[in-house]
A and B are shown apart, each in its own frame.
Chain A
Amino acid sequence: MTVTTPPSTFANPGSPDAKVQFKPRYDHFIGGEYVAPSSGKYFENPSPVNGKVFTEVARGNAADVDRAVEAAWRAFDSWKKTTITQRAIILNKIADRMEQNLEMLAVAETWDNGKPIREALAADVPLAIDHFRYFAGAIRAQEGSTGEIDNDTVAYHFHEPLGVVGQIIPWNFPLLMAVWKLAPALAAGNCVVLKPAEQTPASIHVFMELIQDLLPAGVLNIVNGFGVEAGAPLASHPNIRKIAFTGETTTGRLIMQMASENLIPVTLELGGKSPNVFFADVADERDDFYDKALEGFSFFNLNSGEVCTCPSRALVQQSIYDQFTADGVERVKQVKQGNPLSLDTMIGAQASNDQLEKILSYMDIGKQEGAKLLLGGDRADLGGDLTDGYYVNPTIFEGRNSMRIFQEEIFGPVLSLTSFSDYDEAIKIANDTLYGLGAGVWSRNGAQLYKAGRDIQAGRVWSNTYHQYPAGAAFGGYKQSGIGRENHKMMLDHYQQTKNLLVSYADGPMGFF
């Protein structure tokens, strides 16, 4: 890999020295080629960085979904017969190609989503690359099993792919969330029809064009469009064998309702309202660990708060509350807001205008509920070319866990802060939520750290860390946060079915007839 020194600010796509040039229009990718939408219609895609339209995207419908599902089934006949070695090689080649074009993908992701480029460069794209490599390895190492039923009877268990699967991708990590679903599905030998979010439909096509020569035609198909017009026909399609979705609870329920009609499995990741618990011993010293905990407090700003596991509820023990929160607020004040394509920008734009409006509406209800505003609380106007972008000032409210701003994932850089007296109260508040996707616990006491991690009802409890998403650590929700686990080899199970061959090696009949 060539090491180059990146510029301090990447050029906007569309300018001559940009790392990526978007096409003026993106069609559907079906059967190994780009095809126009059956309706002939396209929708405009603005960048959250400056609010300006930079490309238009095919407006898919049920006919397009039909076409993609058919293409995927045609490809499945041969794809399912590829050896796991061949599939692993392909996944590794995809990873290599992405790595060679990391800056291009990162700039595309930032322009489509609004996230700071330093996050896209250091997290989104490298994690996506590693995800392909992880599942290339996992599928190679996976084995079936044999059971010796008796001396002459053997049960063989083989992993077989499901067939054609549907995947509906969210807009907060458009590339990484696509890869979380794609890598295990492809590794397991499935063919995919993927619908990107209509808010962020462009970067996946930069990826697709980059790697399309590496995959056989029809193995991966992308149908763009709106949820109601393309997502629902995909989720309810009678010829898919599984549907995977990341999003919110009402659509999660609707997808399960649709899947129930087809009797197919679902995996759902539906977000949460993650507690981040700071026990008093965090402040025993003013050392590197204290510094790390303050970073943990500030992590609600990652990806502008648009993360399903945003640590958006900070629970701080009363005995350290005043000093720790004062230090935490100071730390958050250092978060640099600016052009998402500048390397020193720490918080970028919200992904869409309506997301911005929603965040502002929550700031309003927070104030009405009587929460005390410690920082921010309003929209940010960055001026110049960015004046129409969707920016919010990092915000901290102090209040009670029963308030709506403590119970709903605002999906913005908004922290709801409260205190607890002792261990039991910490766990009670942490678990007083409908959701259970992520949580954080901070303590110098290993026993307390372990106990709290086990007592918090969440699928992922970061312990003395937060917001790490390595392949190999299972990720998924308790309670209303979803069904299934991603990011781990167990995800292969979600994309496979078990074939049992029950074989008799006995010489004679069983003796019944």
Chain B
Amino acid sequence: MPDTSVSDTQQALSRVDVSPAAAAFLVELTKQHGPLMFHQSGGCCDGSSPMCYPVGFFRIGAVDVHLGDLHIDGIDPIEVYMSRSQFEYWKYTHLTIDVVAGRGAGFSVESPEGKRFLIRSRMLDDAERKAFDLI
């Protein structure tokens, strides 16, 4: 496995977070599917959706960046990845994985539940940009 971490420093600051509703939902999904991970998609149709897979279902490669982990009580940390090329355009934003009512998202595990994960974004603040070597 290549070293895909964006930054090992500044553990207090993270590029990714999870909403309370999504966290509770991920606990339920983990009971069904075992440990989970996310890979952020691009392109059309369900593109721009965070895809949630059982660990090992999707092969992470050297082209991917490990954005960080979601820490949720009661389950293993959930790793979040994105392709490096896409990250170049996303690196100035902080991502929060949320969940909304919805239907279908590729092979992501949540869609049979009538819900769908969704990315909420905000611009990184100055402290975060500094921590992530962006200024």
Does B20 reach chain A (CB closer than 8 Å)?
Answer: no
Q: Which residues from B are CB-within-8-Å of A402?
A: 89
Contact with A along B47-64 (1 / 0, CB 8 A): 111010100011100000
Does A257 reach chain B (CB closer than 8 Å)?
Answer: yes
Does A119 reach chain B (CB closer than 8 Å)?
Answer: no
CA distance A407 to B104 in the complex (A): 23
CA distance A227 to B109 in the complex (A): 8
CA distance A307 to B93 in the complex (A): 26
- A249-B43 in contact given A357-B102, A357-B118, A361-B121 (Cβ < 8 Å): yes
Q: Which residues from B are CB-within-8-Å of A437?
A: 44
CA distance A353 to B84 in the complex (A): 29
Contact with A along B104-135 (1 / 0, CB 8 A): 11111101100010111111000000000000
Is A229 within 8 A of B112, CB to CB?
yes
- A270-B108 in contact given A251-B51, A253-B58, A365-B121 (Cβ < 8 Å): no
Is A250 within 8 A of B118, CB to CB?
no
CA distance A14 to B85 in the complex (A): 48
Min CB–CB distance B93 → chain A (angstroms)? 7
Chain A residue at minimal CB-CB distance from B51: A250
Q: Which residues 470-484 in A have Cβ within 8 Å of B in the complex? A: 480-481
- A251-B107 in contact given A402-B89, A480-B85 (Cβ < 8 Å): yes
Min CB–CB distance B111 → chain A (angstroms)? 5
Is B103 within 8 A of A199, CB to CB?
yes
Q: Which residues from A are CB-within-8-Å of B121?
A: 361, 364-365, 368, 404
Q: Which residues from A are CB-within-8-Å of B106?
A: 227, 231, 247-248, 250-251, 254
Does B42 reach chain A (CB closer than 8 Å)?
Answer: yes
Min CB–CB distance B65 → chain A (angstroms)? 13
Min CB–CB distance B25 → chain A (angstroms)? 14
| Chain B CB within 10 Å, residue with most, of A231, A250, A254 | A250
CA distance A441 to B100 in the complex (A): 38
Min CB–CB distance A431 → chain B (angstroms)? 14
Is A250 within 8 A of B58, CB to CB?
yes
Chain B residue at minimal CB-CB distance from A250: B41
Is B43 within 8 A of A271, CB to CB?
yes
- A434-B107 in contact given A249-B42, A250-B39 (Cβ < 8 Å): no
Is B58 within 8 A of A308, CB to CB?
no
- A404-B89 in contact given A247-B106, A354-B102 (Cβ < 8 Å): yes
For the complex with contacts A364-B121, A409-B43, 18 further pairs of A-B residues with Cβ separation under 8 Å are: A170-B44, A199-B104, A226-B112, A227-B106, A228-B107, A229-B112, A247-B46, A250-B39, A250-B42, A251-B46, A251-B106, A353-B100, A354-B103, A361-B119, A361-B120, A402-B89, A434-B42, A480-B43
CA distance A227 to B48 in the complex (A): 17
- A59-B112 in contact given A248-B49, A354-B103, A434-B86 (Cβ < 8 Å): yes
CA distance A272 to B86 in the complex (A): 12
Does A84 reach chain B (CB closer than 8 Å)?
Answer: no
Contact with B along A346-390 (1 / 0, CB 8 A): 000000111101100110110011000000000000000000000
Is A247 within 8 A of B42, CB to CB?
no
Q: Which residues from B are CB-within-8-Å of A235?
A: 107
| Chain A CB within 10 Å, residue with most, of B59, B100, B106 | B106
Total number of B residues with any Cβ neighbor in A under 8 Å:
41
CA distance A437 to B45 in the complex (A): 13
Chosen A-B contacts, 13 in total, with CB atoms closer than 8 Å, are A227-B106, A227-B111, A228-B112, A247-B106, A249-B47, A254-B106, A353-B103, A361-B118, A361-B119, A404-B89, A404-B90, A409-B43, A437-B44
Does A408 reach chain B (CB closer than 8 Å)?
Answer: yes
Is B47 within 8 A of A411, CB to CB?
yes
Min CB–CB distance B89 → chain A (angstroms)? 4
Q: Which residues from B are CB-within-8-Å of A229?
A: 112
Min CB–CB distance A488 → chain B (angstroms)? 20
Is B41 within 8 A of A249, CB to CB?
yes
Does A172 reach chain B (CB closer than 8 Å)?
Answer: yes
Q: Which residues from B are CB-within-8-Å of A226?
A: 104, 111-112
Chain A residue at minimal CB-CB distance from B33: A228
CA distance A408 to B119 in the complex (A): 13
Is B40 within 8 A of A250, CB to CB?
yes
Min CB–CB distance A435 → chain B (angstroms)? 7
Does B4 reach chain A (CB closer than 8 Å)?
Answer: no
Chain A residue at minimal CB-CB distance from B60: A253
Min CB–CB distance A139 → chain B (angstroms)? 29
Q: Which residues 424-457 in A have Cβ within 8 Å of B in the complex? A: 434-435, 437
Min CB–CB distance A463 → chain B (angstroms)? 22
Q: Report which of B53, B59, B93 forms a contact with A404, defined as CB distance below 8 A.
A: B93
Min CB–CB distance A432 → chain B (angstroms)? 10
| Chain A CB within 10 Å, residue with most, of B41, B43, B46, B89 | B43
Chain B residue at minimal CB-CB distance from A355: B102
Is A354 within 8 A of B101, CB to CB?
yes
Q: Which residues 228-246 in A have Cβ within 8 Å of B in the complex? A: 228-229, 231-232, 235, 246
Is B104 within 8 A of A227, CB to CB?
yes
Does B14 reach chain A (CB closer than 8 Å)?
Answer: no
Is B103 within 8 A of A352, CB to CB?
yes
Does B83 reach chain A (CB closer than 8 Å)?
Answer: yes
